[in-house]
Structure 1
């Protein structure tokens, strides 16, 4: 687990520990200390791997709340994918020996059992289609190498890609969600489209336009950053065509997932820690480390690993250094801020 994931896991465990203290007299502070000293993932792994039952497990068994044991919590919650198959099998055997039959968590239902005749996925599952997965899905549609059960768009809307191509929004989202859920098959029955749907909200939050078929498309959202910017409107338009928000959001999302937080890859600056607010992430911008915007040829394909997350100061310095090394001006020199 990365740091952010482990923090979420710790909060989940401590919430359950409060309930365990109320129902079975489990020592909350002792459990919290265990998590702090060993790390949540390590502590839970050690408790489950024991051949015998911990004192906490026995107290919960006596109180008929086996569902609050770490063995049950891991198997019946979204955290099961973070533990090995062998460890989960050991946890299942321990539970079954005391007469408790655990219900394996499914990413498709968002819980241990569906408990409903509806095939719709809960919002918290849909939200796992983050900007990184949505951007990757769009690149698959751009390449033409994508298979899905959605067919052509069944709504009156289309998604506009960075290159201006139009794709069925529900199909794009379905593929993105499948990627986020490790290849689970996602079908039209699992979610809906439309203006108020989480599907459209998440696609737009990833930086894409989802518009009614036949509607005019805003090809320069936001307009130039300043009146009289020295590179002028044409270079701003060039930039906006090649540096749209989706790839920026996708890179930032990827960096958060891999590192637990967003910071400058060059100087290590952590804006959230410095300013004490999540909004400070706006200080981090996305830079093409491999190819300058001005040197990109038509049809240039960008990989997220070609990009860097830099603080605004480092980003400007890098472009200035690149401009000098080429004996001219970088298209983004002297000042530019990527859209968030």
Structure 2
């Protein structure tokens, strides 16, 4: 299902954009087209569109010396950052910089990094593990021994936290960073570190590997679009039917896509290759065990229970309800037709 916090954030963003439009009107600028777009498409969709280009409204607000009312300034508020990708936030930030607008969250002063120069532990682990160590240390305040055990799977009585400590110290992240970003979302942390300059490029690169904002938003948008099309809400935990488009657990769908990618498992079709931005991050997800055969809810393993299929292959798998094909059977049919 759609993550409640993101859904609420979208609603709050819409309200803030409406407030900004109302304030602009009181200053003598009536953003008629902007208001119409908000009414027809909603604040989140409008914001995504306006990020990629400088609108006439932006220029009007600049002339009024009120860029704080611009869409760019609003989406850069810490609370709304989780709705947007790093690239989108950078576009908004750079546009405001061009017009000499100072962004509030750039004022954050951080303790200086103190790199150790010792690279052995840093080179011993994958980037994802290192990213999780950074996040859990600077956001959730886990100590070195806890990180060794929880993230690296080591016996902390033997490792004594030296592996995680070595990784953090190589990056210059010392004790004064422990829990420094407590309560902040990943996007907020990345945004703050990105503003600190070249010394923070490696921590930002690693933390960005944990950022699923674009994928989560794309999945949420797809699910919302289907709800509107079908005129109904999301079903319950167990689905007793064939061939539905979405795995309703957002996290399972996200993990399935991250594990298997966005190419159709049967024919290799990629929606973005054919449809460009319209098809970005889209693929249908297929339950290897048909949902209709389940008598009760079961725990889904995204790696073994779900595979990505294009719309055509997904329909062919489920076309005959008494003879649902396996993906391997469909692969053989496709191979014979080539």
TM range (shorter): 0.3 to 0.5
TM-score of the superposed pair, with normalisation by structure 2: 0.33
